[in-house]
Structures are given as structure tokens and as C-alpha cells.
Structure 1
Amino acid sequence: MMMMMMMNMWWKWKACSNSILLLLLMLIMLLAMIDGGCGMKLELIHRNSPNNNETSTSLVERITELYERDMVRQQHMIYRRLRHTHSHSTRRKDRETATSIAMRIRSAADYGRGEYFVRVKVGTPGQNFRLFVDTGSDLTWTKCRYHCKTTNCKSLPVRLVQGEGRLINNKRVFRADFSSTFNTIPCSSPMCKIGLSHFFSLATCRNPTDPCFYDYGYMEGSRIIGFFANETVSVNLTNGRKEKLQNVLVGCTEYMEGDFRAADGVLGLGFSKYSFTAHLVEEFGAKFSYCLVDHLSPRNVSSYLLFGHVIVGTKLLSNKQYTKLVLANELGSLYGVSVSDISIGGVLLKIPSQVWDVNLGGGTVLDSGTSLTYLSAQAYDLVMAALLKSVSKLQRLSVDGVPFEYCFNSTGFDESLVPRLRVHFTDGARFEPPVKSYIIDVAMETKCLGFVSSEWPAPSVIGNIMQQNHLWEFDLEQSTLGFAPSTCT
């Protein structure tokens, strides 16, 4: 019966086609019926299965290979989907799925500073510089020396350099004259008079050929004076290649007041139209991230500052959480977060709500350029009182030169007895820093409660020591902040 049925099928198929494909289909159906079922059953063997004789690597090597293939596959699928749904996308849309900028970020502890820095090349040919990473400011600048190329142009106005600062004359300085891509921004241009006004540009021109000068101040009292230019900045990409970023707004700083010994300038990552971050949005997407290693790490220990949507693998110690970024006019170009309270040992401190309200002069910002964590007096008093209970039995010390109210002899200190501090965000996310981020080593056998009180009204500041050993991911398009504890490796 079975043979008759097969012969009938054969003559019908032959009348329609002599295709080899139909012969294969007939063979498969015959095998399926012989097996006693009405469907097709094929054995699937994983490429890393022990039954696959082509596989001879160890389990660890197999898992590693599997992960690497999966990552390549995922990126390829995302890329294809975006190409399909946005066939008329700009160059940035294609680039954001392809690669990212990767800068190694290091602690400046070896230089006696509390900031973090990256190394970049500025100009053509590139000159190497060490720049502080600062999410709390907009201007990217280097110590600089420049001779105007026109007869009527002077460099710095004499009236600006009568303070207690100094002209730049050290060896590590950007020699703008040696760069073929250095282009000053004219003082008489609309960009100087209007666009750069929030950068403290000095739009009063002595001569039409003068560059656009700035007199830029920082919150801690430092001051720099120089002029604006467009320049090429060379960076490394996550795919191993190098990229030349053209027409990046940079400051050529010729005079300064304050301590910038450990760095040659600042990489301004603030949320503004002309910051370094804003320049990269068009090419790499509106996302950047960093992971800050322990603030006492030597300079040979590093992690990454990344711009773009392809993230270099960083080991996370728990799932990533997300909270809203507050990008409000009241905070200028600072990155704010919406805090609702702080708890110590699981107990909410019931800090007055106006402390966290940006519309009432409060709020909270995340700042990589500030080392310590500042709390307005109402929050500070409650946090300090709750933490003091765990260290009050240890000998209190007076330490000259530190801004902390309470320091103690750490002999016999047991970190496990310290109640955990958590920052609670209004949307339910919670940030729990390690104890070492708020009970800080300041000297041999000496620790301090690492908070500083700030006068009201002012936003509270989560500084870089509190941020250490965490991945922070800023998505400027979605206005979200992702974070998770990490080894930063």
C-alpha cells in the first residue's frame, strides 16, 4: 500500500516537474513515514556540543567564543534593523551601532589630585595632553601658546592678566602655531558675541582680527583666560581604529589662576551646545558612560570613558538601574538627578523635600570634576548624625587641612558595622555606594565621614569619590541615567 501511494506521488510530481528539489522532498517524507510519525524529526547539534567532533577546545574557551559570536551577531542584527527602518538615516545613525570612542580614564591620585583624567591628541600633527574629565563644566581647553598671524592682532588683552595668576610658560603646552588645523574664532563673529556668551566670551573687540577671548571661572575659584578656536582632536575607537574629530571647539588658555599642575587642561562634558559631548552627539549618538576606578588607584590602573552606543564590556556586580536625568535650566549645563531621600541602615532620614527640589534652589547633581560629596545643611546634619553612631566609640581626631567635620582613629574600625547608605530616587531606583566612598581614608590609620555641608540654597553634589566603582551611563536622548556597581575592569 505504501509503495502504491509513493508511485502515484512520483508520477504526479514527474508530470509537474523533474526538479531535484521534489525528489529530496519525497525522500524526506518517506523517511518520516518509516520512522512511524507524520512529521519531520532532525537532530540539532550545538556547535559547542561534545558530540561535535570538530570541537576540541575547553569549556571556558567555548563559552568565551560563544559570547564573542553572540555579541557580533547582536550588533549585526541591530545594525540591519536600523538600516531597514531608517533607510534615510544620517551618518550618525549608522555610526552609533558600529563603534564608539574609547578613552582610558585614570585617577590623578599619583599627582596629588582628586580628579580623573584622559589623554588626548590635539591639533595636526597631534600633540599629547592630559585633561581632567569634568561633567560639571562645558569648555574644553589646554594650556596654550599662540602668536597671532596678522600684524594688528594681539594675544591676551593686558587688562585681563593683572590678577594673582600666571602666564602659561611651561613645557607641556599646546603650540597652536605648529598645528595646520588651528582656526581662531573671530571676536566680531556672531558665534563670539551670541553663541559663546555663556562661556564668558569677551565680545568687545579692539580689532576686527582679534580672536574671541574668554574669561572663564570655576566653582572652586579657579580662573582661566584665553581665546576660542576650532581644532582637530584625535581619539581611539572601540574597533581599534583612530578617528580625527574636526572643528572641535577648544580653548587656548594663556593665563590661569588656581592649581592645574596635574593636568594640561579640561575635557568639558557639560550638557550644553558647544561642549565636547555635544560635538560627538551628531556622529556617535547621544550617549556616554564612564566607570571610575578607586580614587586612590595609581595611574597604571584605568577604565574607560566612552561615547556612543557600543559599550566596552565592564564587569557589573548587579543589574543596572535607571533613573531620570534632570536637564533643567535651573541647573545650567549640569547633570541633575531627582532624589527623594537618603536612608541609613534602611531607615529613611525624612530630609525636607525642598532640599531636593530644583525649582526651590535645591536639587542634586552628579559631577565628575568634584571630588567630595556636598549636602545642604538640612540633609548633612541628618546624615552625619546617623553615621556617627557607628564610629563614636573610636578615638576622634583633629586633622588639619581637611574639610571634614568628623575624623577618627581607624584602628579597630570594622566596616561591616557601618549602616549602609542609600540614595533614593523619585522613580524607585536606589544608589548604594561602598562604605569606602563615604568613610574615607585621609591618612595612615585615619578616616573621616566624607561629607561636606553646603550653604542653602544650592544643589547637593554627588562627587567622584562617591561615584567610584560604578558604571554611569548618560543617555541624553532619553534623559536617563543608568548605573550599577562595577569593578571597572
Structure 2
Amino acid sequence: MSLQSFLQFLLLLLYISSINGFSVNPSAKESSSVIHFKMIHRHAPELLGEKKLTHYDRIQELLHADKLRMNILSHKRKLRATSSRRELQGDGTSFSFPLLSGESTGTASYYVPFRVGTPAQEFLLLVDTGSDLTWMNCRFRCNENNIGSHCSNPKDHNLTKRAFYPENSQTFRTVPCNSTLCQQGFLNLNSNPEMCPTPNSPCSYDYPYASTEVAQGVYAYESVTVKLNNGVEKQIPDMLIGCTREWNDSYGMGKADGIFGLGFNSHGFVSNIYKNFQGKFSYCLMDQYNTKNLSNYLTFGNRNPQEMPPNMQYAVLGTIGDHFGVTVEGIYVDGVKLNISDEVWNIEKGGGMMVDSGFSLTAWVPVAYDPIIAALENPLKGKFTSVKFEGFDSCFKVPQNNNNATMYESLVPKFEIQFLSGVRLKPAVRTYFIDVDDTGVKCFGFNRAPEGDASGSSISILGNIMQQNHMWEFDILGDRLGFAPSSCSLLA
């Protein structure tokens, strides 16, 4: 299907959805230019609290979470075909969420406080550009219309977790299971249309992660409260949310109450909000070793010019399923392009590289992983002692002293990724040659992505560690991904 045909299909879907009584876009125009969701560094005292994690503990939990996530993405990729984005116009408004890093809680992702319902109830959600459904822990009361759906009774309430109580909200509205949305429109969001005991029972979902059903609940439309850049609070009505009764805690969500999905499904948060906010969102991920109590923001709309680095570069932005991705033109080590087939990097041919805030390490397709590791580790042999470390293929013992950071970084080959349009990401050495314990062992922080699916396609993933120390702008209307080095300190 051509891009033009797909865009026409999505617009038709929006029309059908609206005449069935379900608005998938906010009906009101925003009155300000920016919305901020506060973003706090992962080592900030308010997140770290009394909990202390060694490098070893953190890395092992990170590897566990990444392994689960890789299974999730592989499973979803088998179920879904590549999709595109709608062509809609914005009116220049924007807003931001505070973004909280989750490293100190044993997860690799970043948190945002998220306010939903009328009056608003606040939750802490994991920011995930690789998920298309926004959901939170929820206690949906059972009644005669939803018996057999994913509802709960008061005796089932888990008081150890924060939960959304729909009966306390004036704007909560479930999606009937006999509706066109449930029977057809939400299939890509893993709706369960056969679970429909009565026509008005809520549409339910079994959101699969790998071979297990992690999130189970019902779909609803609700108001989300955000704070505009002028300090005024604004309610955005009719946002699709998932009211999740239970999930598999082995996913490693730490203190999170749910997922803030930033993927681009036609019913997701981003696709339903971006048209009113300049068609873009952005974030800046701070240095994982920065111990300062800094704040940052996940922003929808145009940031103030003084917040943006002056040297932004732009790559062509595409989609891989519901996820944002880019086509890679080449991998360079110390300025030399590695001999890797161009086909593995091309989105149009089933490859490409996903940009994923929920994944920690960067994963490479097998045909690229081996030459990348070889090119990086060979120059270090004889300079540092090779060691074995669980979960990594290439590790070295680096002598520890207070002044050796500049020295060892100068010995590590410079790694660069060139994207379609010729721009290059030049990550800091410490975001790909990472600490894995407290004794000076450092490893190349890459994973091997699974082999391709039945069609032979496979994808690489740009994880959030290599995204650190950069501003990232997802310009959806402009079909481009902007990035530039940044300390993120201007956004504190």
C-alpha cells in the first residue's frame, strides 16, 4: 500500500470512528504554545531515596528487562505490518510532561507523572516510544454489564499499588464490546472482541508481551490533565486509555503504575494529540553518570528556542510497525565505514533501526553485530585486559583512578551511526563502552537482535543509553528526527 493510500485509509478510519460516537482526537484547541511534563534525572534524590544499586545490580536488571523487551518487540513485529503516519495540520500549541528516570528503581526507562480523570488522579507511568497503548493500574468495578470482562471487585483491590478508580471520575467512558472500534479498530491494540457477554460490556484487551499476557483490562475514553507552558492547567478530553486490572510484574516496571505509550498507532496518545501541538514531541535524556538533581521535560509542541541546541541535525523519520524508526546509511568506527549490507538498514525492505526510549542497550541485527564488535574491540586488545562478564560479549578491565576517564576514552574507537540524509550520531564513549560493575570492568553495551522473522526481516534498536546527552525531536508532520548533543541543563 502506498503512503498516500494509507493516509487516506487512516482518515477514513477516523471518520468512521467519529460517526460511531467515539472521538479519537481532542475536540478543543489548546490556548498555549508548550506543554511540559517534568523530567527528573534517574539519580535524583526524590527517585533514589534510600535504595542503593551497584553497577552490577543495575546492569543485570537492565539486561533482564531488555531481554524481555526484545521478546515483546519480536512478538509484536510478527503480528503487525508496517504502518505509516497520518498527514494532519497543527495549530502551534504545545505542552510537556515531567520525565523521571527509572534507573534507580531497577528499570532502564523514564517516568512521567500522568494525570487522568475528573477530578484528576495522578500516576507514575513509564515513557515508552515502543508501546502504542497508554494504560495504568485500574480498579474497574464489576456490574451486570461487564461480568466476564477484566473488572475487579473491592475485595480484589491490591492496596500496595496505586490504582485508578473510574467510579470516582465524571468523564470515564468505556468502549462497548459490540462497537466497530472493538470488533475491528482496536485489533492492533490486542482487543478481545469475542469477550462480549452483553452488547454494552466494555471492550477488553489482553496485551501480549512475548508469550505471556502482561496487561489485561478494558478500553475507555478519559480526560487527561496537562499543564501548559504558561502554567495554566488544561483538560484534554476523550483520550483512549487502558484500564488494566493486572499485569505481569516480571516485566520490570519498578515503581511505575503503567505505561505511557508514545508509539504511533492511529488510536494512541501521540496520534491523537500531535496535530494540535506542531506535530512533534521531544525529550533530552541526561547523562546516566550525572548525580546532580536536574529536571527535564518531555515536551509536546515547539520548545522555546533557548532550550534547543543550535546544531540540530535531521534524519528521515519513518515507522516500523507502530514504532518510530530510521534508515541507516552506514556504521563508522574511527571514520571507516564497516562492510555491512545496506539492506539490513532499510525500513522499506523490512529492516531499519527503531528509536526506542524503553530499551536500554542498543541492539544490532546479527549481520551487523559481529563486525561492529570486532571493529571496536580489536584496537583495545593489548591496551586493556579482556575479561568475561555475564550478558556481554566484549569486556575489558580498565585501571581505576580519578584521572583516567579522559585517558581510556581516548583509546576507545570513535563510533558513529550515519542516517539517511547523511547526518551522523556521534555518541559519547561512555554511552557505548559502559560500566558494568564497581571494579573497573567496562563492556561494549550492545545486544544481538534476534534473527529475522519468516520474511527474513530484522531490525536494530537504538536504546536510551546511547540516546543520552542529546536532544531528540520527533517531527511527525515533517517526517524527520532531529538530534543534537546537549547537556540538558538548559531545561532544568
Report the counterpart of residue 75 of structure 1 in structure 2. Answer: none
Aligned partners of 1:410 and 1:180: how far apart in 2?
59
Query: Offset of 1:366 from its aligned partner?
Result: 0.5
Aligned partners of 1:419 and 1:305: how far apart in 2?
32
Report the counterpart of residue 351 of structure 1 in structure 2. Answer: 340
Does 294-303 or 221-230 show the bigger shift?
294-303
Report the counterpart of residue 35 of structure 1 in structure 2. Answer: none
State whether structure 2 residue 168 is matched by structure 1 residue 178.
yes
Aligned partners of 1:323 and 1:171: how far apart in 2?
41
Counterpart contact for 2:132–2:262, Cα < 8 Å: yes
Aligned partners of 2:188 and 2:145: how far apart in 1?
27
State whether structure 2 residue 200 is matched by structure 1 residue 198.
no
Report the counterpart of residue 200 of structure 2 in structure 1. Answer: 209
Query: Offset of 1:410 from its aligned partner?
Result: 2.3
Select the residue among 335, 350, 358 that pairs with 1:369. 358
Report the counterpart of residue 382 of structure 1 in structure 2. Answer: 371
Would the alpha carbon gap of residues 184 and 307 (structure 1) be closer, same or farther in structure 2, given more than 3 Å must change? same
Report the counterpart of residue 425 of structure 1 in structure 2. Answer: 419
Aligned partners of 1:465 and 1:168: how far apart in 2?
33
Query: Offset of 1:454 from its aligned partner?
Result: 1.5
Aligned partners of 2:29 and 2:221: how far apart in 1?
21
Counterpart contact for 1:314–1:487, Cα < 8 Å: no
Aligned partners of 2:141 and 2:118: how far apart in 1?
17
Aligned partners of 2:209 and 2:100: how far apart in 1?
22
Letter in structure 2 aligned against 1:460 = S
SS of 1:381's equivalent in the other structure is helix
Aligned partners of 1:323 and 1:479: how far apart in 2?
9
Report the counterpart of residue 268 of structure 1 in structure 2. Answer: 261
Between the aligned residues of both structures, percent identity stands at: 39
Would the alpha carbon gap of residues 447 and 94 (structure 1) be closer, same or farther in structure 2, given more than 3 Å must change? closer
Matches within 5 A, 1:104-183: 104-148=98-142, 150-154=143-147, 156=149, 170-183=160-173
State whether structure 2 residue 299 is matched by structure 1 residue 306.
yes
Query: Offset of 1:128 from its aligned partner?
Result: 1.3
Counterpart contact for 1:110–1:299, Cα < 8 Å: no
Report the counterpart of residue 446 of structure 1 in structure 2. Answer: 441
**Cα deviation digits, residues 429-487 of structure 1 (max 9, x gap):** 11111111101112102211101111332110001111111111111111011110101
Which consecutive residues of structure 1, in runs of 5 or more, have no partner in the other structure?
Answer: 1-89, 159-165
Report the counterpart of residue 455 of structure 1 in structure 2. Answer: 450
Query: Offset of 1:293 from its aligned partner?
Result: 1.2
**Cα deviation digits, residues 24-51 of structure 1 (max 9, x gap):** xxxxxxxxxxxxxxxxxxxxxxxxxxxx
Aligned partners of 1:284 and 1:312: how far apart in 2?
16
Query: Offset of 1:313 from its aligned partner?
Result: 3.6
**Cα deviation digits, residues 354-375 of structure 1 (max 9, x gap):** 2112344321111111111000
SS of 1:214's equivalent in the other structure is strand
Select the residue among 321, 325, 344 that pairs with 2:313. 321
TM-score, length of structure 2 as denominator length = 0.74
Counterpart contact for 1:320–1:483, Cα < 8 Å: yes
**Cα deviation digits, residues 151-209 of structure 1 (max 9, x gap):** 24226459xxxxxxx98553311122211111111111111111111000011112223
Report the counterpart of residue 270 of structure 2 in structure 1. Answer: 277
Aligned partners of 1:121 and 1:139: how far apart in 2?
16
Would the alpha carbon gap of residues 315 and 98 (structure 1) be closer, same or farther in structure 2, given more than 3 Å must change? closer
State whether structure 2 residue 466 is matched by structure 1 residue 466.
yes
**Cα deviation digits, residues 379-437 of structure 1 (max 9, x gap):** 1111111110243232233333xx22122222256111112111012311111111111
**Cα deviation digits, residues 61-120 of structure 1 (max 9, x gap):** xxxxxxxxxxxxxxxxxxxxxxxxxxxxx9479966664211121211111111011111
Aligned partners of 2:188 and 2:174: how far apart in 1?
18
SS of 1:465's equivalent in the other structure is coil
Counterpart contact for 1:410–1:446, Cα < 8 Å: yes
SS of 2:215's equivalent in the other structure is strand
Query: Offset of 1:298 from its aligned partner?
Result: 6.1
Report the counterpart of residue 59 of structure 2 in structure 1. Answer: none
Counterpart contact for 1:100–1:311, Cα < 8 Å: no
Would the alpha carbon gap of residues 118 and 299 (structure 1) be closer, same or farther in structure 2, given more than 3 Å must change? farther
Aligned partners of 1:127 and 1:452: how far apart in 2?
38
Query: Offset of 1:222 from its aligned partner?
Result: 6.7
SS of 1:201's equivalent in the other structure is coil
Report the counterpart of residue 386 of structure 2 in structure 1. Answer: 396
Aligned partners of 1:146 and 1:91: how far apart in 2?
30
Counterpart contact for 1:114–1:295, Cα < 8 Å: no
Q: How many residues align?
A: 387
TM-score, length of structure 1 as denominator length = 0.74
Counterpart contact for 2:139–2:157, Cα < 8 Å: no
SS of 1:209's equivalent in the other structure is coil
Letter in structure 2 aligned against 1:382 = P
RMSD of Structure 2 on Structure 1 (CA): 2.5
